[in-house]
Amino acid sequence: MPGQPVHIADYDPQWPVTFQQICGPITAALGPLAQRIEHVGSTAVPGLAAKPIIDLDVVIATRSDLPAVTARLRPLGYQPEGDLGVVGREASIPLRARRRTTSMYAPPTTPRWQAISRSAMSCGATQAPPAPTRS
């Protein structure tokens, strides 16, 4: 919200656990519509301080799946919010929780999806990828 202070928290090792708890019901609701669900954003980076909001991307095969995805997320409490200023994605935000689901509507061959899949923890994974190292 504009004018609201931003809260940055120290890294919480529960963030990956919370992601798994969030993605389970989404996976069940979307079934084969979800090609992949990834924990993205600053809470997905081990050791990084972040806004304590779990972001995840749901990758689907085609934008034509969007109405079905939206319909299946509504019973879980997700409200569609449009692209929130990022062309090529649609966001859904849970009405009763401080976490966000960002759905990407692009085939998994796009460069953005490939970058996400190399660096993000997926639904069902037991641990996050290692923190990036600097050369």
Closest residue by Cα to residue 27 from 35, 39, 17, 15: 35
What is the per-residue pLDDT across 78-99, written as a single tens digit (0 to 9) for each?
Answer: 888 887 777 777 888 887 665 5
Evaluate if residue 128 carries a pLDDT over 50: no
Which domains are delineated in the chain? 33-122 (3.30.460.10)
CA torsion 36-22-13-111 (nearest 10°) is 20
